[in-house]
Amino acid sequence: MTNEARVLRYLERMFAADPAAEAERLVAQRLRFVGALAEDEAPRISRDAIAARLEDLRRRAEELTPPQWTEEVRGLPLADQPDLSAWARRIQAVVAARCAFVDAANDRGVDPQFLRNLRRIAAAPPSEAVVERESLLAGLAGPSLRRARRCARRLRSRHAALAALDTELFARLETLKKDRRLATRTRRIGFSLLIAFVVVRACVRILRQDGG
Cα–Cα distance, 58 to 69 (Å, whole number)? 10
Percent of all residues in the chain with a pLDDT value above 70, rounded to a whole number? 63
Q: What's the confidence (pLDDT) of residue 28? A: 63
The pTM of this model reads 0.65
Q: What phi, psi does 97 have (nearest 5°)?
A: -95, 15
The angle that helices 112-122 and 98-105 make with each other, rounded to 10 degrees, is 160
* pLDDT mean across residues, the chain: 79
Give CA separation, 75 vs 37, 39, 46, 60, in Å. Answer: 17, 12, 12, 19
**Is residue 126's pLDDT more than 80?**
yes
Q: Where are the domains of the chain?
A: 3-41, 47-177
Percent of all residues in the chain with a pLDDT value above 90, rounded to a whole number? 55
pLDDT band at residue 196 using 50, 70 and 90 as cut-offs: low
Q: What's the confidence (pLDDT) of residue 44? A: 77
**Is residue 12's pLDDT more than 80?**
no
